[in-house]
Structures are given as C-alpha cells and as structure tokens.
Structure 1
C-alpha cells in the first residue's frame, strides 16, 4: 500500500524534474533565439535595410489606345498605392489570413497557442500561425535550408524580422507591402498583376467576389487556381466570403447573394497568348537601347525587368485585333486547300518517303502518341507520330502583316507570324523573294531618271542568250509583237516583258542606287531578273518603300516607341520627329500612286474592290513569287500602309494553282483589315483620306494602253493626237 509520504515525495520529485526540464528547454530556446538573433544562422536585415525595402516591378508596355500589351520582368509584379486598394480586398485578406492583424505587433501568440493545442496535441487542422507580417517576411526573404533545424530557424527569423518591421512601418504600409509582393501562382506576384492575369482588370476595379477568389488563391496557388480548378476555386472563394461575414465585413445577405455567383474569368497571359508578341519583342530591344542612351546622358541606370517603367508605343490595338482576326480567318480557309494540293501532287507522299530514308530515321518516329500541336485555331492535343508532327509544321502556311502611318513611320499593326509563343521567328523581318511587288520601285526609278509615264515599252517575247537564254514571259503568257504597251498600263497590270524592256533602257546601276536608299539588299547590276522581283526583301523593307510613295517621296524609319517614363511617371524618353530621307520626287511618287490606284481599280488588285467592296481611295500592288512560293500585297492611302505576306517556312512548300497568287493568298488579309478600318468611323476618318494628286498627273496616264508599231501606228497616233487636241480646244471654248 502506497503511503501518503511516498506520494508527496513522488509529486515533489516530478515537479522538480518538470521545473528542471522547463528551465532547460527555456534556456535552450533562449540560446537558440540568441544564436538566430546574432546571425549565427545567417545575417538578419537591420533597420536601415528594412526601411529601404523595394520590390522589383515589371515594366509595362501600352498600345497607343492605352491597352496593356506586354510586360518585361524578373518577377511579374506591378506595385500599387494604398489609395488604389479597395476596402473589400483588405478586409478579405485580414479575415482570411490574420483577423487580429491590427491588434498584434507582428506575432500572434493566440494563433501559436491554437496551432500548438489543436494541430500538435489534438492532431486537428487549425491553419497556420503566421501573421500577415511574418508571411510578408517569408515573401521578401524566402527560407533557407538548415537540415532538421530548417523550420525552427526560419520561423524564428520571421518572428524577429516581423517584430522589427512592425516598429518601422504602419499597419497600412505592411498590408500594402504584402499585397504588392505575395505570389499568386503562374509566376505572378502582387495583387495588381493577379487582377490583370485572372480578370483582365486593375485592383481598384476588382469586385468583392473577384477579390475573394484572389485572396483564397493564396492558401495554395495551384490547388485553388481558378483557371485549372474552377470548382475548388469557387469553394475557396465562398469560404473567404463567409469569413468576411463572420468578421462583420459583409452582411449575411451579401454573403448569401455573392456565393451564388458563377466564376467569371477574363484570363490574360502574355506568356501564353501574346496578341502583340512580335511587336513587344521589338519594343524590348529598342527600349534597352534607349535606356543605354539615357544612362550615358544622365548617369542614371534603369532596368527594364526591375524598375516598373511604362513604355508607350504607337501600336493601335483595335487595328492589331483586325490584323490578327484577318490572318486567322484567311489561313483557316487556305491551309486545307494547300493540304489538298500537296496530297494530290504526291508531294506529301514523297516527303514521308524521303524522311524514312534518312540515316537517323527511327521506327519510333512512326509511333503515335499524344502530342501538343499548334495550328491556326490554337494549341491542341493530337494523337500523332513524330513524323506527322514534323510534317504538320513543315507544310504550315504562315502570314505576316505590317501596318504603318507613312507620315512618321508609326507602326499601327504588327503580326510577325501565326503565334509568337509557339513560333517566335519574326516574318516581318524575314527576307523572301519579293516578286512583282518590287516593280513600282523600278518604274519610280525610271521616272526619276527622265522617263515619262506616256512612254511605250516593248511587249514582244525575247530570249537573252547572254543571260543563259533567259526568256521572260507575261503572267498570262500573252505578248503583242506588233504593239507596244504604255508604261503606266504595264505597271498597273504587272506585265513582265515591258518591265524587262524598261530595265534594259534604264540600266541596273540606277536601280541599284534606289534600292540602296531604301535599304534593300544589294544585287549584281547585270542581273535583269531583279526587275521582276527576284530580290529577297523583307515585309518591313517593302512597307517602308511604299510609304515613300504615300509620303510624297520621303522615307521614314519605323517608329515603335512614343515615350518611356519611370514608375512615378517622370519622362525618361520622348520621341522627337526625325527628318525623313528623300528618295523620290513628289511628282514621281504622285505618278506611281496614280498608276497603283489603277492597279486597284482596274488591274491586278481589283479583288479589293470586287470582293471587299472597299470605297476608299487606295493604291496598291500584288506580288506572286516563282512557283507561288511567296504571296505579297501592299496597299496604301496618304496616312496608312498595309503590307501582307503569306507562304510556308520553305519555298519547297507551295500551291500549284492560282490559290497561291498574291491576289488570292495575301490580298484577302489586307482586304479584311481595310474593310474593318473603313467601317470604324474614328479609324476611317484618321486613315482613309484622299490622295492630293493633280489632274495633270492623272491625265498623263490616260494615253492608249497599246500602240501599234510601224507606219500604220504612226498615222494612228497622229490621228489620235489631233482628235485629242480638238477635244481639248472645244472644252476650253465651252469653259
């Protein structure tokens, strides 16, 4: 039987041991705290460093119509001010993450007791014990690895730093720092970037339900992703709303109403879908160069990926959308037609056979598997073989569009390919055989050198032994041995034989001088085929060249950036007008424009009128490279140039019919864009203005299209001259 004295001694001894254990543990905790505090596990930020906290921000790129079109960042973050933060965003965060935020000094002892009792002793989930301030510390400084001591060391660091932060910053400043730095998944940091990513809006415009979705996302950014797991996201959103109700931030009626609302995302991700990706990349390169010059002149260094700069560009997002839609709509129609032609000509079959003969061919290349494939509709999963995948991209049609204002070179629309994220190679700058789109350059050079638009050119097929028996032909294989053709008519109808005759009369050296002024690739002057467009030219170069005709002969370089400011709006760079480079005279440009108006109204570009019913004054020219390998079309007004190119990644892949001609393959893209611009009252007024060309210029291109050779032709011309003279005199008398 146990005596009372034994029980008493046992209790006393137990209390003694517990006291020793508690003192030992306390000493150990105190020693551990001192070791962390003094920097044994890594130096802690001091007060001065904490005062200078600045989170890196993404630089933002805006279109001319103030739409965000791109970001440059190490971390996708855009800071906001306290005034831009709605009350319901703050309330949602406090109710969900730290309801005693305004009562504690960085460490919530009640939360730690709750975690200790429920999570450790009772093994029940009770949430985390970290305050918003401690979470902020984790976001700013991360966590290091210390083996089995990792958790206690990192938690202790966060407690110490959080306490320091609370003595330096107000509660409002801490909330703002947290919301500007917290990760929301998908490489998105801060509430502003998250609002843009998931709802295509700004923080100050977030609704209560949208704010609840984003705050709910913080618990597990993947598990509660509204894009990946919408049902889980709704449940988490509703929990946040109920917590807001429990804290009195929302009434029961509000909560009951909002939890019934569906999840409505407006997902925007420039890394996945970049509506102006090719353009933004060019802006990034130019911005970097501009900032180097800013540093050289001011001594101040700015970083595109850190300093939250704002870059204002010339791109018109409305026009850009028109261009993207036109490319998608047209390629959807033309790709199946190309597929059919490649199959019917056995090109596809031969390609597969050649691939199977390769030394590195593997039978596994024929094994089908689920593969992520891009086509003009987007990215899809298809069950195909590696060889099928290679063929898919090999035979793919690509398109590029460049739209500028020739008055100053401002880029209004820029489509460098089908999809920047998947196919980043920039086709606006890619050099391809330019075909007949080059002809106006030759004809303008002739006018600059004294040739008249009333000149008549040979239209008789001829073989040139000195050029390897080269025998140029007109597109329709027709010629007129007994008749010459008018200069203006030959260009308006893109005739090859008269163009070659003009080249020989002009001389290659003079044409080379013009192309140098335009920035084209040089070519041997004894290469007459260049007259028909065998030169490789980029869409960027040809659009600038046509811009000279629209701009009275003056060439403007492309303008992409209007202004760059720092994050506070201080202007670092503003574009200043640069004097254009004169290439052609005003009269030459007017004459070429008048002829290219005929090309649109009567010649190779008539589809722009017949199919798209455009009424605006337009000049333009098509181009079809050899074997239909490249299709071109450029059209312009005094304030607008629209250039399009369509083709495959290699000239080996092409149409075998008129489907591959410039009028069929490239013109319809420009036609759809121009039609939409014409239908937009604001854009129509800005860009569809009439040409200011004198009657004398138009009268000079009203001569007979053809002229007979020999004596008969001479008398016929004499008769026509007298008849026209009499008509002019009668008009004068009437007037």
Structure 2
C-alpha cells in the first residue's frame, strides 16, 4: 500500500514538473524537455495554422448573382470577428474558457489541476484546454489533416506529449493573433454536427440566421453543441440539447454576462430550430430539378479548364454563371408541356446560347427529366442537354452543314438544286440490296428517296432548307465532298460530338469493332457514308444550339460557356481559361446561310405549323430534323438575341420509335415524330416568351456573291 502511494505521488510530481517546465519554455527554451526537432515541429505547425486555409463552400450563382447551387465537403463560411454577436462570444467563453482574455494561450493553473486529477484517475483527458488549444486541435483535425487519418489520430492522442505540443503552439499563436481573431478562427473551424462547420453554417442550418443576429438561447445552444455535436444533436436529442443550453446560460450568469432573471427567462425559451434543420444542399442534386443540369454543366466546364472537383469543394469560390433563371424555367416548362417528365423512354432536351463575337454565353440547359437521384421518379444525373446523349442523331438538321459547305464551294442560297424523288449515288457506300422504287439492281453504292413525292424535282437551296428533301442534300454532298461537309460540322460547333465515336462515347482503341475505335469524323470520312447529312449518329443538344449561335455571330465560333466570372475566397477575380473564339467561316457566308434558313417557319416550311401555334412572327433561322426510324427528332433555331436547339429522343434501353399522334408521346413500333412536332413546339413555346419584351431585330443582309444565279 505504502509503495503504491509513493508511486502515485512520484507520478504527480512528474506531471507537475513537466507542466511547470512547459510554463518556463517561453523563457528558457526547449532544452531539457523538447528536442530541437520537436521545437521545429511546433514552429512548423504554428506556421501552418496561420497559413493553411480552411475548406470553404463554393457558391454558384445565376447571372444576377442569386445563388442556386453550393459545392462543399465541409459546409463553412468564414465569419470575421466584427460579425460575431457579443452573446455568442460570451456564451462560448463562459462555457469553454472563462479566463480566455487573461491567459496567454494556456491556463496553467487549470491545466495543473486537471493533470493531477487525471493522473489520480489513471488516464489523460481533455480537461482544461483553452479555446486557443482547442483551436489548435480542431484546425489540425479538420483542416490540416482532414484527409490524413493518421494525422488526425495523432492530433487527438491522449498523451502528455501531445498536450505539451498543443500548449506550445497555442502560446505561439497568442503572440501572432489577437484574442478576437483566435475566437473567430476557432468558431470558423469547429464542427457543429454532420457537414456543418463553423458558426456561420451552424447559424443558418439550425436557426436560419447569421452569427451577428444570434439570440442568447441560440448562442448558448451552439456554444454547448461544440462540446459533443453528435450526443447533443438538437434534432435527435432535444432534451439533451436544452439541458446543455441551460447549463451554458447558467455559466454565463456565473461569468457575469447575464443576470439571474435574464437567465431564467432565456431558459424557458424553446429550442426554436429551423424546420427542418439542414445545411444548404450540396452538389448539383441540391440545385434542384430546374437548375441541376446547369450546375453539372458548370462543374464539367470548370474541370475541363483545369480545376479539380476537390478544389471546387474547398476553394470558397463564388462562381457567377450565365444562367438566365426565368428563361431556364420557361424552357423547362415547355419541355415538360410537350413531353411530361414521367413519360417512359422519351427525353426532351433544350439548350439556349446567346450569340456574340466575343463569347457564347449559355443561358439555359434543361430537360423534361428532373435532375436527381430517384430513377423511380424519372430523375437522372446524365447530362441529357449538354453531353452527347441523343444516341440516334439530329436527322435533317445536319443539312445545315452540307449547305454551308456548298456555299463555301460557290453556291448561293438561290442556286437551284436537284431534288428527285429517288436518288442512287454512284459515290457513296451504303443502302439496301436494291434501290426501292427505281427498278435498278444494287449496282451502285447508296440509294435513298424523299419522304414523299410532293417535292418538285428542282428548287432553290433556300427552298430545300425549308422543305428538307433528302435527295437534294445527298446530291450536294456528292458535289462538294463528304470530307468538307464533315469538317464543316466540327468547324461550326459540333466539336465534342464529332470527337466521340458512333456510340457517342470516346473512341476505344481496344474495341474489336472498327467503328468504335475511331471518332465520328474519321468514321464518316473513311466509310464514305452519305447518310451524314441526315445525322444518324449521336449528337449534343448544346452543341446544336452553339451551331446556331455561330451562324448568328457572323461565323464566329466560341466555346459555349456557362461561367461569367469567378471570385476567390477573398473576393478577388480569378481569370477564366477558355479557348479563343475563331472565325470558322466567312462572315458573309454565315449571314447568307442564316437568311437561307429563314423560311422553315413560313409557308411550306417544316416548322410552320409549330410557329403558327405559338404566334411566332419575328425573323429567325430554323431547321428541323427527324431520324429514319423515328427514334429522335430535333429543331435548331436562332434570332439575333438567342440561339437554341431542342432534341426529343428515346432515352430507354429499348431502341423503338416515338409516336406523337393519336395520344400522348410514347414509345411505339414504327414511330411518327418529326422535328416540326414536339421539338419545334418546345422551341417556339419558350422562345416566344423569351422574346416577349425584346424589340424585333432583322436578319443580316446577304452579299450578292452568296445569292447565286
């Protein structure tokens, strides 16, 4: 018994000696207790604490600066000292460190008492840590070592050595920072449960307020919550949260921050939590069904320009986008009006790009599908409006590229072209064993016919663009060369599309199928496939819209951009990294083609009925498209103000056609959809609203050389 008592006494003396040595360290240095190596470690850690920035939430806003999405791993917004309510400071100091403004980082008397108590109990606890010491530990765990499990464990190990390192670092910080800045930094770093970090996030999540407006009961609850955010979770254990809150209020009385009468009144207050308690939603799912696709497009765009997803989640950026909230919602409603979101197997997608010679700003990208995780509710995270997701093609919309190549070869929009009902190409491969209706054996390469026999055998190129005879454009392909047409598609804007293979994914060099090993550009050129002008291959809705923007910008291609400006965590501009715009065709050619495409919404034009339905009368370019087996259809259109495209396509695992007549849109055996139906109706619906308050602008003039004989 006597031996045991002597051993315990010796242990207590040792603890006291170590702590007293710690007190002397600022004067006598580390000799005799810490090696030079340990001193270096302490110094380095102190520097890191001052210099290592905590992860901050990135905010994504619309064009007017209104947030619509947030990216973060730790929901945190920094709060400067002057934005902290005094009651929050009083509550935290009363609960955690009453002598905060008196000590120099370590409360040695409290530490010695705790050390003796812990030693007598046979363990090392966290007792007597000051707010400065807690800041050190929390910064190490949640900032410096947040992705290093071993480092986090070391920062929390229950040893005297760790406590002494923590004390040394705390004292160093007290010489570098003011007390209020330490308090503010601590409240920015500490966790408040789940993904909520810092007082600003906690104020919003629990009370839908800001740190400068916290009341005494709110501040007391939050000050108590840092002690054990899981056990004191006010949603899961409101009784425990109230008990701890009231204890903090009592401590505020002991610390002369409240009168007993005030305390009793505050203790009778309900918790008053937000309903429900939630941090701001994170990620693009959190952006909601209307804006989730745009958020995903922003993230993909920025990662392509050099950012990492992790950098976006911790960088504290403010990203102002080009999202037009009203136009996006109008386009979303229009897409759902033509194809309800619950329609099995049919996606309706739209994209809107603003023409310009300096930038092509993306104003909206939407789908009839909601952006989300619940497939049972027809939600998806596939980038339907922006990626190469229509696997069946845009149909005759691609005749625009054939027409552009023809103009570059000397044709004019009034040049008369042949449009026979049947055509058997002696240039291109493909077709059936025989050419139906011609009586000709399969002697030649490619045979096709027009949709019906009502087309005249000859018409101007402008008429052909409005009425869309297939034979006229395959004949043009023969004359101008397939390579020129395929290249024109990429030049005008189908760059990502043409870089995928015919399955709509990046080429797979290891594939056993040759067509999957090469890009669409390589495939159509090498195969000599005249069907390119009828677009049978995967296509991006956004890139179709950008083609229209290029034509309306005088032939100036710019990368379609969702981002207007980026500010760093300090509010300073960050330079955007985007490719320069390119003059891809002669400006006069682009102007002529815009006028050449201007009759699709008039007379016998394939979109005339849809335009009339929505009262459309202003000048615009337009082109419809339908694929051969009716699995998709598209419409491309533009005014000087907005360029847009709509694609309706089968997004199921069953490659059947789409029917739109005699009932709601549905998958069916043969299909009867056309670009002039659902796609054109969707376009004219939202574009008529987008232009409602805009002055009517004419299309550009046509130079004589592009008019033709």
TM-score, normalising length from structure 1?
A: 0.66
Matched, 1:410 2:365: no
User: Whole-Å Cα distance in 1 between the matches of residues 239 and 607 of structure 2?
Assistant: 56
Alignment of 1:171-186 (within 5 A): 171-186=179-194
In the superposition, relative to structure 1, how do residues 222 and 444 fare at CA in structure 2: closer, same or farther (>3 Å)? farther
Kept after mapping to 1: 8 A contact 2:611/2:681? no
In the alignment, does 2:687 pair up with 1:674?
yes
Deviation at 1:410, TM superposition (A): 1.9
Structure 2 gap segments, 5+ residues each? 23-29, 142-150, 375-379, 436-445, 499-520, 666-672
Q: CA deviation at 1:446?
A: 2.8
Instruction: Describe the SS at the equivalent of 2:623.
Output: strand
Q: Is the 8 A contact 1:459 1:480 kept in 2?
A: no
CA distance in 1, matches of 2:333, 2:360: 23
Partner of 2:625: 623
Q: Which residue is equivalent to 2:12?
A: 26
Q: What displacement does 1:79 show?
A: 3.1
Q: Does 2:501 match 1:493?
A: no
Q: Please tell me whether residue 546 in structure 1 is matched to residue 544 in structure 2.
A: no
Residues 115-134 of structure 1 aligned to structure 2 (within 5 Å):
130-134=129-133
Deviation at 1:581, TM superposition (A): 1.3
Q: Name the residue aligned to 1:248.
A: 258
Structure 1 residue 562: Cα displacement: 4.2
Structure 1 pair 69–224 and aligned structure 2 pair: CA distance change class (3 A): farther
Listed as ranges, the matches of 1:490-529 within 5 Å are 490-518=464-492, 520=494, 521=498, 522=521, 523-524=524-525, 526-529=528-531
Secondary structure of the equivalent of 2:575?
strand
Cα distance in 2 for partners of 1:99, 1:695 equals 81
- For 1:278, the equivalent position in structure 2 comes to 296
Could you tell me the TM-score, scaled by structure 2's length?
0.68
Ranked by relative contact order (alpha carbons within 8 Å, sequence separation 6 or more), the top structure is 2
CA contact (8 A) 1:98 1:131 kept: yes
Q: Deviations over 1:211-245 (max 9, x none)?
A: 6675565344445667x749679858975995698
The offset of 1:175, in angstroms, is 0.8
In 2 relative to 1, CA 573–117 (structure 1 residues): closer, same or farther, beyond 3 Å? same
Q: Counterpart in 2 of 1:530?
A: 532
Q: 1:60 to 1:484 in 2, by over 3 A?
A: same
- In structure 2, how many angstroms separate the alpha carbons of the residues matched to 1:401 and 1:29? 71
CA distance in 1, matches of 2:312, 2:589: 45
Whether contact under 8 Å (1:58, 1:71) holds in the other structure is no
1:707-718 → structure 2 map (5 Å cutoff): none
Which has the larger displacement, 560-569 or 35-44? Answer: 35-44
Q: Which has the higher helix share?
A: 1
3-state SS of 2:646 partner: strand
Determine the structure 2 residue equivalent to 1:268: 280
What aligned pairs does 1:57-96 form with structure 2 within 5 A after superposition?
A: 57-58=55-56, 60=58, 62-63=60-61, 64-68=63-67, 76-96=75-95
Change over 3 Å in CA distance of 1:491–1:149 after alignment to 2 = closer
CA distance 1:208–1:34, shift in 2 (3 Å)? closer
Using a 3 Å threshold, how does the CA distance of structure 1 residues 288 and 451 change in structure 2: closer, same or farther? closer
Map Cα deviations across residues 91-140 of structure 1 (whole Å, 9 max, x no partner): 45445544554355545689889999999999xxxx97544223212202
What secondary structure sits across from 1:628 in the alignment?
Answer: coil
RMSD, aligned CA = 5.1
**Which of the residues 198, 201, 226 maps onto 1:190?**
198
Distance 1:72 1:440, change over 3 A: same
Aligned residue number for residue 383 of structure 1: none
Give unmatched runs, 5+ long, in structure 1.
1-13, 292-301, 339-394, 704-735
Judge conservation of contact 1:62–1:68 (CA < 8 Å) in 2. Answer: yes
Please state how far the C-alpha of 1:489 moved relative to its aligned partner: 3.3
Partner of 2:134: 135
Which digits, 9 at most, give the CA deviation of each residue in 1:249-271, with x for residues without a partner?
A: 99579848974856245752223
Aligned position for 1:419: 371
Q: Is the 8 A contact 1:96 1:243 kept in 2?
A: no
Structure 1 counterpart of 2:178: 170
Quickly say closer, same or farther: Cα 1:625–1:188, change in 2 above 3 A: farther
Q: Could you tell me how far 1:304 is from its partner in structure 2? A: 5.9
Find the counterpart in structure 2 of residue 690 from structure 1.
Answer: 697
Select 1:653's aligned residue among 652, 655, 669.
655
CA distance in 2, matches of 1:120, 1:601: 95
